[in-house]
Amino acid sequence: MLLINSSFVGGLGGASKAAGFVHHLNQRAIEYRLVTDLRSVEKLNLVGLTPDIVFEATPDMSADSIYKEVRQQLRSVKYDGMLSFGWRTFVPANAIERSVPAIIIDGGWPERLEDMPSPFCKDIYRQLKAYCLTNYFFDHRLGDLLPMKDQINFQWIAQPFPKEDVSWFRALAEARKAHSLNHAGAEKATSAKAKCTIFLDLNPEYIDMHQGTFTGGWLTPRQLDECRGFVSRLLIELDAAKHPLQLVLHEKIVAELSPVVSKCKNLKIIGHPSLPPAEHHKLRNTADLVLLRASRCVGAAQTALSMVPALHTICPTARDYMGESYSAAIAEDLGIACCLNHEGFSLREGIMDYLDSGKAAQVAQRAQEMAISTWQERGPDFVLNLLYSAPKSESKHTGRQGWNQEICA
């Protein structure tokens, strides 16, 4: 029986990844149980999951107390493998204590390695079967981004979408292409007056002044200031565009930056609520352009698979947070992305020049091809193979460990 953990994670990425993997396990008739913490129940519900066990952890609890809470809750649960969606070691530690194979799956790597009872325990990371980093493209240069690659068995994998989701993403791409062909003439004739829709793919927690109040946060004050400044400048610059524009972003961001929003006179601002992943992507799919905060996030993979024109506007970039700016540069070098350096020039000019260049559709097609190929080679079954494969004598950083072995469920 597999234990699936999605807890102590900021944002919706961990829950979304867990939902995709759980759907795959259901297809394979693999038994599992799902665990989470009190603060993450709502996120799992949003992606259609109901946890079997909820850790009674509160913001005022020490790290040591959380480890004890996890141990207490899992004391009678028997499992032979763990997949943990989230970088903190509170739950994986239980698997390591039992000598059960465990894998962490996350979009980012731990920013620090510390002694127990830290949430980022180096001894736990070193004993994992693998620490899997999600992405929609693979390139050997990604390995050079990892600051702890000699201490942890990192593996690059595709976002763990089930087969049906990938088929749905591709169907949206085909529908979008057909719509574009059918309306090309009309759109060209009215382009000067048409309202171009831009979708900002940014979780509101990246501008939340209180994001550090639970499990240590993840942004430094400087990084938080950069994210808030980026969105504020985006609003002001787009408001000054010559042609009508509308910006779609989370309603919490609209509320948080209401003093800036109130100054916008020409830009139409549309706030959307927290939505289930499918509904969120449907909305994003209607945009003329998606602004991606990160190149390796779930949204970047979904956008690529649906061939939605996108511009990588990496934020925060201070100290190259999670290697995202370098990842974007690699993607751009592969011809599957275009990047906007928001520290270098006008956001508005960069966005409008890209839309007018005609490159967006070509880049989106190459991004889809890469995303499909990466998912086929490094999808959910690749992860299960890693978890249950016997140790190999080959280099632990090859990314091919257990590739051809039968999956033991």
Q: H or E segment at 199?
A: strand 196-201
Burial of 178 (0-12, 13-18, 19+ CB in 10 A): exposed
Residue 60 has pLDDT above 90, yes or no: no
Q: What is the mean pLDDT of residues 27-56?
A: 95
Q: What is the CATH number of the domain that holds 20?
A: 3.40.50.2000
Q: Which two tokens stand for residue 78?
A: 């028997």
Query: Is the domain of 152 the same as that of 246?
Result: no
% of residues, the chain, pLDDT over 90: 73
Tell me: do 137 and 211 sit in the same domain.
Answer: no
Going across the sheet that includes 154-158, the strands are 53-55, 32-37, 2-5, 81-85, 102-106, 130-135, 154-158
> 128 and 214, same structural domain?
no
Q: Has residue 131 been placed in a domain?
A: yes
Q: Which of 107-111, 181-185, 214-218, 304-308 has the highest mean pLDDT?
A: 304-308
Q: Clarify whether residues 140 and 180 are in a common domain.
A: no
Q: Do 336 and 364 share a structural domain?
A: yes
DSSP 3-state of 196? strand
Same domain flag for 132 and 250: no
Contact (Cβ atoms closer than 8 angstroms) between residue 269 and residue 177: no
- The model's pTM: 0.85
Tell me, yes or no, whether 135 and 267 share the same domain: no
Question: Cβ neighbours of residue 153 under 8 Å, at least 6 residues apart?
Answer: 128, 129, 130, 131, 396, 397
Rg (CA), the chain: 21
What CA–CA distances, in Å, run from 178 to 59, 114, 131, 183? 49, 53, 40, 9
- 342 assigned to some structural domain: yes
Q: 51 preceded by cis ω (within 30°)? A: no
Domain hosting 105: range is 2-158+379-388
Tell me the pLDDT tens digit for each residue of 85-105: 999 999 999 999 999 999 999
Read off the pLDDT of residues 192-212 as tens digits, 9 standing for 90 and up.
Answer: 445 799 999 999 989 988 766
- pLDDT surpasses 50 at 188: no
pLDDT at residue number 397: 38
